Amino acid sequence: VDKQTSKLSLVYILVAFIAFGVAAIAGLLQGLDRAGIITMPSWLTYYQILTAHGVLMGLIFTTFFIVGFLLAGIARTSGGSLTPIALKLGWSGYGLMLIGTLMAVVTILANQASVLYTFYAPMKASPYFYIGAALLVIGSWVAGWGMFSCYRTWRRNHPGQFSPLFMFTAVATMALWQICSLGVAAEVVFQLIPWAFGWTDTVNIELSRTLFWLFGHPLVYFWLLPAYMTWYIIMPKIIGGKIFSDSITRLVFVIFVLLSTPIGFHHQLMEPGIDAKWKFLHVALTLAIAIPSMITAFTMFATFENAGRAKGATGLFGWFRKLPWRDARFFSLFLAMAWFVPAGIGGIINASNQLNIVVHNTIWVTGHFHITVGTAVALTFFCVSYWLIPHLTGRKMTRIVHDLGRLQAVFWTIGMFFMSGSMHTLGLLGGPRRTAGTTYFDNPTALSWMPWHKLTALGGAFLFFAAMLQVGLVFYLAFKAPKGEQEFPIGEVAEEADSTPKILERWSIWVSVAVILIVVAYGYPILDMIQNSPPGAPGEKTW
Ligand code: HAS
């Protein structure tokens, strides 16, 4: 990609990894604190570092990385550069996101925002934390508008053609993000900011949680889809194969745009304020949204197998040996995918009402999201960093990066095995998430959980080492690796793939259907929450 895009994309990616490094330190500290191995000093509380970890890792690392990656990929697949307007919007978005990040970090450091990354009311933060969070989201919208403008320009200049696959999937990811983040924007602007400034003295809690989760579940697909873009479009090139099917790729992303949002009640199954029939609808749609991931699992195996057979592999699994195991880019991706199998199974368990009763608010859920976003997505982002950063800085990914990158992925896997494995187990034993009082004043049951907490901390130590290695690799690739040219890999579609139906590129249809589904799934429940929340009822008053 050209120099201007490289500069823009690089600043996003560097901020992402600085946030990631700080978040990793916070993660280690909280794991050791929960296991009783260290005690927090009086000026730094468990909830403060838990908030720092969640916000920096889950919101800041991911959002900066995704915007930087998507901007570079759009430029790469549309002739090497962004349109002037996209560059302007990209820089404006970056500025807003940076200001928002600083506001959030300062308020967390001042212990004025220890409200965790979901910032549920009635926990109240400084209004400047909410404004910071809003700026982070608005900044990413602004950068996204630049991406939409590139897409429009491309379509105008290539009438009747399908847009490049990377561009199409980037637009889908950003469309999903902009639709769903209207929920959290409404919560923050109309409920939390006025309440935090003291302009209103009550907050409707059920409504605030509902608006949060209207955004919160699609947020996880905003994290996942750039990983899927890498699996579908970039991985085939890395393994010397072809993209299995253009239409399957587009279809999967369209399904995510349609179904990611009207499913948020699966986070609120245990809340009494929502009628069971609405929960049923959301659960049915949740199970439907596992389907594009199952299609992805099938497509990945097909891509591996076709690539291996094209290289002469024979027998049922001969293709497996033809995969480039010494290439850190592929190695990290494969582990990411392998982790997504148990992660997805866990998600489907969470989604069923009866099983959710067992796991909800236990540390099982923390185990679930550490292997989804924390492994399947994070390892994929690490893979991208190994070639994208040198591509942007005019350097090369050297053998040492391949070796250390693979070591990084192995340490990440060992760490997650211990950490997430013990979190899942602890959850089934009843261990709650998000509590500093791990032993409940030496309650015998809670004390019997301590070995699992220690194992969690052991996993955390491995992860911390892997995270520091990753940050080291990022800075080496950005500033120290030898000068040269590093390829931005983009796969080609297999010749034997079916042609793509035109309807898949009709955004007016898909966005309209997505909005209709959201209105059907949320319209009445939200209206009911606004109109029928009795004065003085929990959530309406007195906090
Ligand atoms: Fe989830 C809670 C349901 C996917 C993240 N989830 C969370 C939270 C987060 C999160 C952050 O229904 C906690 C929020 C909080 O703080 O309270 N989740 C699901 C379901 C899916 C799912 C049904 N989650 C994700 C992804 C995330 C993520 C992806 C981040 C990126 N989740 C829930 C529910 C809750 C929840 C409930 C609420 C729990 C509660 O009570 O609080 C599905 O999308 C999963 C579908 C996935 C699959 C897997 C397909 C496998 C593939 C890999 C192929 C592998 C290959 C290599 C080719 C069906 C594509 C193979 C190699 C080998 C060696 C085998």
pLDDT in tens, 417-441: 999 999 999 999 999 999 888 888 8
Residue 324: asked if its preceding bond is cis (omega within 30°), the reply is no
Distance from residue 154's CA to the centre of ligand 1 (Å):
34
pLDDT in tens, 299-309: 999 999 999 99
Cβ–Cβ under 8 Å, residues 229 and 170: yes
Residue 539 lies in a domain: no
Residue ID of nearest Cα to ligand 1 atom 60:
297
What pLDDT is recorded for position 437?
A: 80
Distance CA 93, CA 37 (A): 41
Measured CA distances, 25 to 70, 113, 252, 470, 515 (Å): 27, 19, 36, 13, 40
Structure tokens at 338: 């392998």
Over 60: is that where the pLDDT of 369 sits? Answer: yes
Distance from residue 409's CA to the centre of ligand 1 (Å):
20
Instruction: Classify the complex by whether its ipTM is higher than 0.90, answering yes or no.
Output: yes
What pLDDT is recorded for position 543?
A: 37
Amino acid present at 395? R
Assess whether 217 carries a catalytic annotation. Answer: yes
Distance from residue 325's CA to the centre of ligand 1 (Å):
26
pLDDT classification of 189: cutoffs 50, 70, 90: very high
Last residue of a domain, one of 141, 161, 181: 161
Last residue of a domain, one of 95, 128, 161: 161
Distance from residue 324's CA to the centre of ligand 1 (Å):
27
Least trusted range by pLDDT, from 317-326, 494-503, 531-540: 531-540
What pLDDT is recorded for position 534?
A: 59
Mean pLDDT of the 183-197 span:
95
Distance from residue 517's CA to the centre of ligand 1 (Å):
21
Residue 241 lies in a domain: no
If DSSP codes are grouped into helix, strand and coil, which group holds residue 1? coil
In angstroms, what is the C-alpha Rg of the chain?
23
Per the structure, the count of domains in the chain is: 2
Distance CA 120, CA 116 (A): 8
Residue 470 lies in a domain: yes
Distance CA 170, CA 253 (A): 9
Residue 283 lies in a domain: no
Mutate to test the pocket of ligand 1, among 350, 360, 370, 381 (most ligand atoms within 8 A of CB): 350
Distance CA 350, CA 344 (A): 10
- Where does residue 75 rank: exposed (0-12), middle (13-18), buried (19+ CB within 10 A)? buried
Closest by Cα among 52, 66, 209 to 117 = 52
pLDDT classification of 542: cutoffs 50, 70, 90: very low
Q: Which long-range contacts (CB under 8 A, 24 or more apart) does 478-481 make?
A: 478/10, 478/14, 478/389, 478/393, 478/395, 479/393, 481/390, 481/393, 481/395, 481/396, 481/397, 481/398, 481/401
Distance CA 101, CA 55 (A): 9
Q: Is the CB of 351 under 6 A from ligand 1?
A: yes
Residue 421 lies in a domain: yes
Structure tokens at 278: 């609405």
Residue 401 lies in a domain: yes
Last residue of a domain, one of 444, 473, 491: 491
Distance CA 539, CA 101 (A): 29
Instruction: State percent of the chain over pLDDT 70.
Output: 98
- Nearest atom within ligand 1 for CA of residue 223: 31
Structure tokens at 154: 């491309």
pLDDT in tens, 216-267: 999 999 999 999 999 999 999 999 999 999 999 999 999 999 999 999 999 9
pLDDT in tens, 53-90: 999 999 999 999 999 999 999 999 999 999 999 999 99
Distance CA 394, CA 483 (A): 6
Single out the catalytic residue among 69, 369, 462, 522.
369
The string of DSSP codes covering 78-146 is TTS---HHHHHHHHHHHHHHHHHHHHHHHHHHTTS--STTTT-TTS---HHHHHHHHHHHHHHHHHHHH
Residue 33 lies in a domain: yes
Amino acid present at 444? P
What pLDDT is recorded for position 42?
A: 86
Range of the domain at 437: 324-491
Task: Give Cα 533 distance to the centre of its chain.
Answer: 33
Cβ–Cβ under 8 Å, residues 428 and 353: no
Cβ–Cβ under 8 Å, residues 73 and 170: yes
Single out the catalytic residue among 217, 266, 282, 360.
217
DSSP for residue 203: -
Contact residues for 284 (Cβ-Cβ < 8 A; gap 6+): none
Residue corresponding to tokens 């500069």: 7
Residue 122 lies in a domain: yes
Would you mind telling me the total number of residues written for the chain in this entry? 543
What pLDDT is recorded for position 436?
A: 82
Residue ID of nearest Cα to ligand 1 atom 4:
347
pLDDT in tens, 450-498: 999 999 999 999 999 999 999 999 999 999 999 999 999 999 999 988 8
Over 90: is that where the pLDDT of 285 sits? Answer: yes
Neighbour-count burial for 118-157, b at 16+ CB within 10 Å, e otherwise:
bbebeebbbbbbbbbbbbbbebbbbbbbbbbbbbeebbee
If DSSP codes are grouped into helix, strand and coil, which group holds residue 487? coil
| CA angle 246–13–486, rounded 5-degree value | 65
Task: Give Cα 245 distance to the centre of its chain.
Answer: 25
Sign of CA dihedral 251, 257, 262, 265: positive
Mean of pLDDT over the chain: 95
What pLDDT is recorded for position 532?
A: 82
Assess whether 221 carries a catalytic annotation. Answer: yes
Over 60: is that where the pLDDT of 535 sits? Answer: no
